[in-house]
Chain A
Amino acid sequence: MRDALALPEIVSRAEALYRDYSLGTVRDWKKRTGGLAVGYMPIYIPRELLHAQGVLPVGLMGARDDLEIIKGDAYYQSYICHIPRSTIELGLNGRIDCLDGVLFPAICDVIRNLSGMWQMLFPDKLVRYLDVPQNFDPAIGGRFYRDELEALSADLTARGARPYDEDALRTSLEIYNIERRLVRDLYALRQAEPWKVPTSELYVVLRALLVLPVEEGIVMLEQYRSAVENATDRQPLDQARVLLTGSFCEQPPLGLIRTLERAGCYIVDDDFVQITRWIRSDIPLDGDPLQRLVEAFLSDAIASPTRYLDHGEKGAELVERMRASGAEGVLFCAPSFCDPALLDQPMVVRAVERTKVPWTAFKYSENTGQFQVIREQAGTFADSIKLWSEA
């Protein structure tokens, strides 16, 4: 049994971690353990492998509206999304200098090219572009991905991490299975009783997981779960149930999420901080654990727009999520200039339209500071859903 903490205390700690640009917990962890801490860009990296080698994986998701971008803007034209410029800003102003390296998974060309810039700007750090296969045959894409993971493992060892050990990885898979299960349970609870788990709260908890050792993250998830279950003062409101999609890389400001909720939306499913949900179910613990990690990526990952969908219909998974979450509407909420989200959108919109579920779309940037227009749009959308459902 964990110590019971008051809900405001848990949320306030999570929010403080989310707001800490200087990665205080990571610095403390390094002081305490002497281990390596390695950052990673969205959306997915195999955290289990880092953990098994004694490395702290640290999620980087850009900044918010309260970081003044000075140096970062000098690296990017106006038509490039915001997350690379804030990441550069954090790197150049020393806020994340406690990281011994950064991993850049294959998301899009902007993040890919950022990996090259990082190599040159921080030559003493580990910088690795993690190419993930778009071929999902275990003998082809699986072999390639395994090679990538083995190369990553060797890079970590060369930097002073513990060498790869099968038993250690099995233990790490087990720990991350627990984390994923707890997050899935929270998502299920929010779907069932969204008034108990406001997304603006769940979101900061998810963000806190990015900078905490997984063991501490698990404690936070359990404490939060227990606290919201006991929050009997939280009662249902007359809100529209919506699924929010498109926000998987650059994140919206917290104020935007709060605005959507205040505008009358219960967000019952979303794409935020997908690292904890990228692998959909428990990774089996039998057999070769590295191969299990590879297989999970190949056959049990979500249908992200960053992956090539080699079978089935575009948008089918989103439609299934709409059904499972009981969403009455869909918010296409993508960052400006986000290729994966915006190129995917017309196809996914068509899939949603076939279901006759209403949708609306807007864009944001992580430093968006004015929400009035979105509030009006989302409010009108939520009102119209409520009116239709009552008809």
Chain B
Amino acid sequence: MTPTTPPADAQKDASQVRQKEMIARHFDRLAAAPETGDKTAYTFVPGNLTELLLSFDLLPVLPEINALQSAMRGKTAEYIALAEKLGHSEDVCTYVKSDIGMLKSGNIGPTGQRLPNPDVLLLSYTGCFTFMKWFELLREEYHCPVAMLHVPYQPEGRITPSMRDYVVKQLKDEIIPELERVSGRAYDEDKLKEHLRLAAQAEDDLVWVLQSAKHKPSPIDAYFGAVYYVGPIFSAFRGTQAAVDYYRALRAEIAVRIAKGQGPVTPDGEIEHERFRVVVEGPPNWTSFRQFWKMFADEGAVAVASTYTKVGGVFDTGFRHDPSRPLETLAEYCLGCYTNLGLPTRIKLLAQYLKEYEADGFLINSVKSCNSFSAGQLHIMREVERLSGKPGGFVESDLVDPRYFSAANIKNRLESYFQMLEQKRLGGAA
């Protein structure tokens, strides 16, 4: 149901406010790029090579993040409609269509400023077939160079020397020379190493934050809330001092919440009574993000772990960027992103989360737009139930197409699911 009155101002943590300022500064730099001469690289979240881009002083632009922010600002319905009018199929990824629609509408970014055209499209082809087509489409619009990095898939859940060598060779022989050409700067390995060192520091603190959800009550929501937490590290800030400072401050903020025994902060206030601990698989819906979160919060349901927060890197199983092996570590990072992992590995990870975070069950938000995530999720659900003995729930929506968010259906399903968890708990206690 669409609210008839505007929602109250969302309650925000200090870290959220800080992040907002970081992002605003980044978009200011992007908007000023035509005047300052800063060069920009459009790239993707999974397998992003932010440290490498920063070592060339290139400013990253993440079209997926622009699309989701457009959705949160209520702009994607018109962007998608425009793209479909231009011949893009109703069947394909709505991130792509939102991006095309935004481009055709003047390329106004989330802060209301015009985004600069890319100087290079860094196509890190990691874990998502659509990425390849997306940048083929953008290449036709921008007529700029494309640096293509093909990252092999991990069907067996392990990185072979051949996979690593393949990615490293591409970095050495194709990506770096192209970035040198575009930026006009020589490759500086020491600079890259410094960014990688900072990345690893921020990754340590991010993992601490995500794992704080093992506390009862959890001080964070590791799906909806964690979307904000991964923002800097998945976008333009990994490998910067600003990201290190942000995650250090975030960690301190969460430590206070743990000490006080507080639950997560949602836009509508704190969850004071944690009734259900759930693990969530799949990306959120962005057009009704707050409404979707509220459906959980109203039931006292807290996400204690999620897979979406691993699309830009699975750090909680131990990976850290290693400055002593700069190109190898970038290769391993790309290879290890969540959607680049085979289904058996994804299933094991979910079952592991259920156990480690002592969750009551898991929910899958299956989005129409993303076959990389969604194809096979019904199988994932059955297998995770079998391995963990915990019940799974399944809801369907989309990333940024408001036509595919049916609030009443989703609410019904969630309520039934939580009732079932409650019943199970009562039955278990009897």
Interface residues of A (CB under 8 A from B): 74-77, 79-80, 84, 106, 108-110, 112-117, 119-120, 128-129, 131, 133-135, 137, 139-141, 143-144, 147-148, 151, 305, 308-310, 314, 336-340, 342-347, 349-350, 363
Decide yes or no: A340 and B377 within 8 Å by CB, A116-B342, A135-B170, A310-B148 being known contacts.
no
Which one of A77, A106, A350 lies within 8 Å of B374 (CB-CB)?
Answer: A77
With a cutoff of 8 Å between Cβ atoms, the chain A residues found around residue B378 in the complex are 74-77
Residue of A nearest to B398 (CB): A79
With a cutoff of 8 Å between Cβ atoms, the chain B residues found around residue A114 in the complex are 375-376
Using an 8 Å CB-CB cutoff, how does the interface string of B104-134 with A read, 1 for contact, 0 for none? 0000000000000000000101001110111
Q: 6 tightest A-B contacts by CB?
A: A116-B343, A343-B133, A129-B155, A134-B150, A147-B162, A144-B166
Please state if B133 and A339 are interface contacts (CB–CB under 8 Å).
yes
Decide yes or no: A120 and B379 within 8 Å by CB, A134-B125, A342-B89 being known contacts.
yes
Decide yes or no: A80 and B375 within 8 Å by CB, A119-B344, A134-B148, A141-B150 being known contacts.
yes
B35 CB–A CB distance under 8 Å: no
B140 CB–A CB distance under 8 Å: yes
Sample of 16 further A-B pairs with CB below 8 A, known A79-B368, A113-B372, A338-B91: A74-B378, A76-B375, A77-B368, A79-B374, A80-B371, A80-B374, A106-B153, A114-B375, A114-B376, A120-B383, A129-B342, A308-B123, A308-B132, A339-B133, A342-B91, A342-B92
Instruction: Say how far A363's CB is from chain B's closest CB, in angstroms.
Output: 8
Interface residues of B (CB under 8 A from A): 86-89, 91-93, 96, 123, 125, 128-130, 132-134, 136-137, 140, 148, 150, 152-153, 155, 160, 162-163, 165-166, 169-170, 173-174, 342-344, 346-347, 366, 368, 371-372, 374-379, 383, 396
With a cutoff of 8 Å between Cβ atoms, the chain A residues found around residue B374 in the complex are 77, 79-80
Residue of B nearest to A111 (CB): B375
Q: Helix, strand, loop or mixed for chain B's interface? A: helix
Q: CA–CA, A141 to B169, complex, Å? A: 9
Please state if A137 and B344 are interface contacts (CB–CB under 8 Å).
no
Please state if B137 and A343 are interface contacts (CB–CB under 8 Å).
yes
Decide yes or no: A79 and B91 within 8 Å by CB, A114-B376, A347-B137 being known contacts.
yes
Please state if A109 and B128 are interface contacts (CB–CB under 8 Å).
yes
Q: Helix, strand, loop or mixed for chain A's interface? A: helix
Decide yes or no: A120 and B343 within 8 Å by CB, A109-B371, A308-B125 being known contacts.
yes
Residue of A nearest to B370 (CB): A109
Decide yes or no: A117 and B153 within 8 Å by CB, A109-B372, A144-B166, A339-B92 being known contacts.
no
Instruction: Say how far B289's CB is from chain A's closest CB, in angstroms.
Output: 21
With a cutoff of 8 Å between Cβ atoms, the chain B residues found around residue A340 in the complex are 129, 133
Which one of A106, A109, A128, A345 lies within 8 Å of B375 (CB-CB)?
Answer: A109
Q: CA–CA, A108 to B153, complex, Å? A: 11
Q: CA–CA, A77 to B377, complex, Å? A: 9
Decide yes or no: A134 and B379 within 8 Å by CB, A79-B368, A140-B170 being known contacts.
no
Residue of A nearest to B150 (CB): A134
With a cutoff of 8 Å between Cβ atoms, the chain A residues found around residue B366 in the complex are 77
With a cutoff of 8 Å between Cβ atoms, the chain B residues found around residue A309 in the complex are 136
With a cutoff of 8 Å between Cβ atoms, the chain A residues found around residue B96 in the complex are 343
Q: CA–CA, A340 to B132, complex, Å? A: 10
Residue of A nearest to B169 (CB): A140
Please state if A140 and B129 are interface contacts (CB–CB under 8 Å).
no
